[in-house]
């Protein structure tokens, strides 16, 4: 049976979905409120994980272990790394990497996780395709790209850091949760996709742009999620 776990890190990233869902119950686990109900006639569990990779990983594991979700979607905002991305554009994950995982002192590549068979966690192809089609809906007036999403416990607001992330990882955008959600989903063999709308350019203006555009960007991402749910 299809049961979709939907994760947003901040209130802004889940409020629209929460308003549209038919609420049946709420459970508080590990300080997180899990909203149980239906959206587009599908069973969903909607949750605000909190910011950062640990919060997101714990949240994902609870969705798997306590709620037996069949799919996981992460919705939210991100900073642009790819030069062609503009504020409001959408990035759908082809795969995800934790860019701040650093075992280079032991001869590993930046981002590579020792003693794991991969550090590049691939999103589900069917969910990617559904998400891409969903991005064409009338409520979305921005361009959509499918590409690599990078995550780290860093709010990137530096042109030098942004350039580094592109040169090393060829990431399209950067945020603080998606790769840990992908990592946890991979370990549990759960299909996932990350949907991010660009809120800032991950440069010296990032903090200003983020505050100005976060609501618009979150709305764009949420619109796509609703269309994905309808078609899973």
* Contact assessment for residue 73 and residue 182, using Cβ atoms and an 8 Å cutoff: no
Q: How far apart are CA 208 and CA 20, in angstroms?
A: 29
Tell how far CA 116 is from the center of its chain. 22
Strand partners, 68: none
CA–CA distance, 56 with 45 (Å, rounded to integer): 14
Sole residue written with tokens 């983020």: 210
Catalytic residue numbers? Answer: 13, 200
- 164-191 burial: b if 16+ Cβ within 10 Å, else e: ebbeebebbbbbbbbbbbbbbbbeeebb
What's the CA gap between 170 and 21, in Å, rounded? 36
d(CA 211, CA 205): 10
Q: Contact, 194 vs 182, CB < 8 A?
A: yes
Contact predicate 88/145, CB 8 Å: no
């Amino acid at each position: 049976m299809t049961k979709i776990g939907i994760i947003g890190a901040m209130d802004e990233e889940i409020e629209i979905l929460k308003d549209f869902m038919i609420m049946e119950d709420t459970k508080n686990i590990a300080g997180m409120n899990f909203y149980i109900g239906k959206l587009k006639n599908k069973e969903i569990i909607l949750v605000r994980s909190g910011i950062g990779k640990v919060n997101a990983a714990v949240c994902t594991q609870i969705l798997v272990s306590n709620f037996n979700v069949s799919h996981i979607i992460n919705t939210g905002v991100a900073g642009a790394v790819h030069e062609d991305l503009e504020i409001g554009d959408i990035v759908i994950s082809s795969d995800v990497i934790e860019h701040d995982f650093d075992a280079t002192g032991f001869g590993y590549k930046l981002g590579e996780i020792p003693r794991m068979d991969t550090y590049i966690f691939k999103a589900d192809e069917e969910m990617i395709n559904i998400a891409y089609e969903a991005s064409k809906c009338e409520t979305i007036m921005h361009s959509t790209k499918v590409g690599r999403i990078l995550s780290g416990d860093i709010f990137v607001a530096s042109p030098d850091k942004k350039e580094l992330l592109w040169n090393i990882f060829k990431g399209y955008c950067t945020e603080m949760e998606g790769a840990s959600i992908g990592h946890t989903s991979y370990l549990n063999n759960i299909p996932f996709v990350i949907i991010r709308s660009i809120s800032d350019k991950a440069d010296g203006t990032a903090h200003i742009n983020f505050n100005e555009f976060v609501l618009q960007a979150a709305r764009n991402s949420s619109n796509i999620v609703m269309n994905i749910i309808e078609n899973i």
